[in-house]
Amino acid sequence: MIGFVRVFLWLSLSTAVYAIPYDIRGRGTAVPPTEDDFYTVPPDVGNSPPGTILKHRIPPAPIAAFGLDPVNLQSSYQILYRTNDNFGNATATVATILIPHNADYTKVLSYQVAQDSSFRNCAPSYALQLASASGGPFGTLVTQAELLLIEAALERGWILIVPDHEGPTAAFLANRQAGQATLDGIRAALSSGAFTSIDKDATVAMWGYSGGSLASGWAAELQPTYAPELKIAGAALGGTVPNITTVLTEINKSLFAGIIPSGMVGLSNQYPYVAEVLDQHILTQYKPLFGLVRNQCLSADVLDFLGRDVLAMFDDPSLPFTDPRLVQIENDNGMGHAIPGIPLYVYKSTGDELSPVDETDALVSKYCAGGTSVEYVRDVLSEHGSLAITGAAKALSWLIDVLDGEKPQVRCSTSTVASSLLDPSALEVIPQFIIDALLNLLQKPVGPIVIG
């Protein structure tokens, strides 16, 4: 019933006021990061502490669903801010700040997308803009699809931060950098009040699925030592990938085989040794194929390597498992190096094809033994891709609670369920989730309706 009232109120009261979406007036064309000076890391970046805003702007083009349909936001901004790479070197990356209508400036969610690409033009700051298709067939489709989950959070009135957590070189799987970029993006957003109006003491949470859970999980692990001043209420991690080496064997010759070359090239963008290995050990006939991932996004990578034996493209297929330096790099970028000091909601398919569920079981056990509060849900009627959607409502419900100041009822819990969709808390938010998604396609003002 509430949903129908919301539809009626929007149709009857809001159409005239928002006939032209506030945030799309007078906007131009999206410019790829490889052609946009805004993304350039300043030579003196090391002179500023991590989280410092170096410059900011309104995005060149409106934020748009699937790159086609402008989203009716109150405002949006891009910020270039100081962060660190995997080795502690000063660098900078971009974050997008999205502000809904009737925003609650005391609640902030940092959403880490699953970019899963080693091409700079797949960065979310570009992919979320109107007419930003790039990077081969279906371009940045995965990132654009995640805008549906971002919009669900915006409908709560929350401010959204979406960092380019792979950094300025698209270093996919350089996960220490990803975690630091996430935390520094939060620092930057909390200091942006002069132009965003975000409360400097806002309550903050994090959310990410698959590749986004790596960035979010690393941020949670690093926060006690890297950004102890940040008061983060909790993080939702879905489709977790604790061990990179295991993923190589799980997805080789599968639907997701294209993530292997993308991840290896991504690591080569941060580690010269990985670049050396690829140059010396990829068989000559496969080098052009591997080269494609440097200029395309996840969907194209998946299509080009669909079902392929990627490991057989090395002169020694066992190299990723036997070369001590490669194995060390893979282990260094896995999860579980530290214990998060914030509450976590972890959701994982028991049939996950990328990363076995028992590895997430072990990660959660380690966190719990270290004192982290974890609500862990193992979902049976799903696989890696589908749980991104079917698990979202329950994750959103959990985030609503933590951003409203509710503390976890128990320190650690594990449950195996048929489907997260059937959870009562998920069922409470699903109808509104669907209604808002449909109305947003009609350019309904994104954000809570306030009467009076």
The model's pLDDT over 217-247, given as tens digits with 9 standing for 90+, comes to 999 999 999 999 999 999 999 999 999 999 9
For residues 432 and 287, the model is more confident at 287
- pLDDT at position 135: 58
Q: Are 386 and 238 in contact (CB under 8 A)?
A: no
pLDDT above 80: residue 322 = yes
- pLDDT at position 66: 74
- pLDDT at position 8: 35
DSSP letter string, 140-206: THHHHHHHHHHHHHHTTT-EEEEE-TTTTTT-TT-HHHHHHHHHHHHHHHHT-HHHH---TT-EEEE
Digit-coded pLDDT (tens) for 282-299:
999 999 999 999 999 999
Q: Which of 180, 221, 162 is nearest to 49 (CA)?
A: 180
Residues known to be catalytic: 210, 352, 384
| Confidence bin at 10 (pLDDT 50/70/90) | very low
- pLDDT at position 438: 66
CA 284 to chain centre: 34
Identify the DSSP state of 408. Answer: P
Q: By three-state DSSP, how is residue 27 classified?
A: coil
pLDDT above 60: residue 3 = no
Digit-coded pLDDT (tens) for 123-137:
999 999 998 876 556
| Percentage of residues of the chain with pLDDT beyond 70 | 90
CA 382 to chain centre: 20
Digit-coded pLDDT (tens) for 55-108:
999 999 999 977 778 999 999 999 999 999 999 999 999 999 999 999 999 999
Rounded mean pLDDT, 304-311: 98
What is the average pLDDT score of the chain? 92
According to DSSP, the residues that pair with 209 across neighbouring strands are 238
- The phi and psi torsions of 183 (rounded to 5 degrees) equal -65, -40
Written as one letter, the residue type at 357 is V
Per this entry, what is the length of the chain?
Answer: 452
CA distance 398 to 234: 9
DSSP letter string, 58-118: --SS-BEETTTEE---SEEEEEEEEEE-TTS-EEEEEEEEEE-TT--TTEEEEEE-----S
Rounded mean pLDDT, 26-33: 84
Looking at the chain, the domain(s) classified CATH 1.10.260.130 span: 244-332
pLDDT above 90: residue 44 = yes
- pLDDT at position 429: 84
Digit-coded pLDDT (tens) for 201-217:
999 999 999 999 999 99
According to DSSP, the residues that pair with 315 across neighbouring strands are none
- pLDDT at position 428: 87
pTM over 0.85: yes
CA distance 395 to 183: 20
Q: Which of 356, 332, 74, 302 is nearest to 197 (CA)?
A: 74
Digit-coded pLDDT (tens) for 334-390:
999 999 999 999 999 999 999 999 999 999 999 999 999 999 999 999 999 999 999
CA distance 86 to 289: 27
Looking at the chain, the domain(s) classified CATH 3.40.50.1820 span: 2-243+334-441
Digit-coded pLDDT (tens) for 157-187:
999 999 999 999 999 999 999 999 999 999 9
| Confidence bin at 279 (pLDDT 50/70/90) | very high
CA distance 37 to 53: 16
- pLDDT at position 139: 66
| Confidence bin at 332 (pLDDT 50/70/90) | very high
432 CB neighbour count, 10 Å cutoff: 16
pLDDT above 70: residue 278 = yes
- pLDDT at position 4: 34
Q: Where are the alpha helices (DSSP H) in 282-422?
A: 287-292, 298-304, 319-322, 324-332, 357-369, 384-390, 392-403
pLDDT above 80: residue 443 = no
- The phi and psi torsions of 392 (rounded to 5 degrees) equal -70, -40
pLDDT above 70: residue 275 = yes
| Confidence bin at 6 (pLDDT 50/70/90) | very low
Residue 289 has which token pair? 């194929």
Choices 1.10.10.60, 1.10.1760.20, 3.40.50.970, 1.10.260.130: CATH for 244-332: 1.10.260.130
Task: With residue 234 as reference, give the H or E element that holds it.
Answer: strand 232-238
pLDDT above 80: residue 17 = no
Digit-coded pLDDT (tens) for 387-421:
999 999 999 999 999 999 998 877 899 999 999 99
Q: Is 3.40.640.10 the CATH number for 2-243+334-441?
A: no
CA distance 326 to 127: 31
For residues 141 and 393, the model is more confident at 393
